[in-house]
Amino acid sequence: MSNELPLIDAIANRDAPQVRSLMLETDFFVISLSSEDEPEDGDQVAAMTAEIGDFEALVAFTTKESAVAFVTDQPDLFGDEESVDGVTVEGAMLLESLPEKFGLLLDPESEIASIIDPSLADEVANR
């Protein structure tokens, strides 16, 4: 079962402990991009990011269906030479791998889209 609605409320209320708790219980889906001329990098995943105002954000989805819908509905974002794959990431790993001063954009272009700014992301990641 997805925790997306309580997570959205916790983000809106900037309740870092609750956001962290809910994220640790959730698997997320990230879009991995690679071009044909890039060498395979083993376990490294080049996850999709977005620029939001004055910060960068990792793009993640709360369901596989949301990720598929985003890729299907946004063909202009992906070049013909790019391979688009989805990767399941546990919430703990997502928080651990989120770079400092990065935010998190959840379910972009959907009715439940949410933004965790870098300040809240640092609190949620316990940095």
Instruction: Please give the pLDDT value at position 46.
Output: 74
Domain that holds residue 60: 4-36+45-124
Amino acid identity at 70: F
Judged against a pLDDT cut of 70, whether residue 7 lies above it is answered with yes
Judged against a pLDDT cut of 50, whether residue 1 lies above it is answered with no
Q: How confident is the model at residue 76 (pLDDT cuts 50, 70, 90)?
A: confident
- CATH (domain of 59): 3.40.1350.90
Higher pLDDT, 35 or 72: 72
Q: Can you tell me the mean pLDDT for 23-44?
A: 73
**pTM for the whole thing?**
0.83
* Cβ–Cβ under 8 Å, residues 68 and 2: no
Q: Can you tell me the mean pLDDT for 28-41?
A: 70
User: Buried (b) or exposed (e) across 54-72, using 16+ Cβ within 10 A?
Assistant: eeebbbbbbbeebbeebbe
Q: Can you tell me the mean pLDDT for 56-79?
A: 86
Domain count, the chain: 1
Q: How confident is the model at residue 98 (pLDDT cuts 50, 70, 90)?
A: very high
Q: Nearest 5 degrees, angle CA 106-CA 72-CA 114? A: 15
DSSP structure string for 16-64: HHHHHHHHHT-EEEEEEEEETTSPP-TT---B-EEEETTEEEEEEBSSH
Q: Can you tell me the mean pLDDT for 1-28?
A: 89
